[in-house]
Structure 1
């Protein structure tokens, strides 16, 4: 079993532990809000017609941009998203 590390994964994406905690919390809250909008949309089809999709797209774009920045920081070169 590997040693528990609070900094290994955050470092792999170019963040400190505290930065990663903030980003992950932001992602989680956005996912909860998008999920709640989807639940309401399931009951009231006219409500939140694109909120879930927009949330997924926005989070995906943020994640891709963060990966690109982390790769650039690790290699010291420009990486396009």
Structure 2
């Protein structure tokens, strides 16, 4: 039986530690971006482009990490 901690990281060409760091980095970026968007909802003059820029940055980083065929079979996060 495959180790559940290493199966997915190995599918995307990473060690467990590499995947942990990458996924945690994506998550932290999403949390910060989400908080900025929530603040923007109440105070629309703040963080006017932060949500869009955060999403574009994450999308570019994620889709550049692997080839399209592998991406379709095994989403990175």
TM-score by length of structure 2 reads 0.81
Q: Which residue of 2 aligns with 1:32?
A: 31
> Which residues of structure 1 form unaligned runs of 5+?
72-81
Give the superposition deviation at 1:4. 5.2
Are 1:43 and 2:27 an aligned pair? no
Are 1:5 and 2:4 an aligned pair? yes
4+ residue runs over 4 A deviation: none
Q: Which residue of 2 aligns with 1:78?
A: none
TM-score by length of structure 1 reads 0.78
> Which residues of structure 2 form unaligned runs of 5+?
71-77
Q: Which residue of 2 aligns with 1:62?
A: 61
Aligned residues: 68
The structure with the larger Rg is 1
Q: Which residue of 1 aligns with 2:22?
A: 23
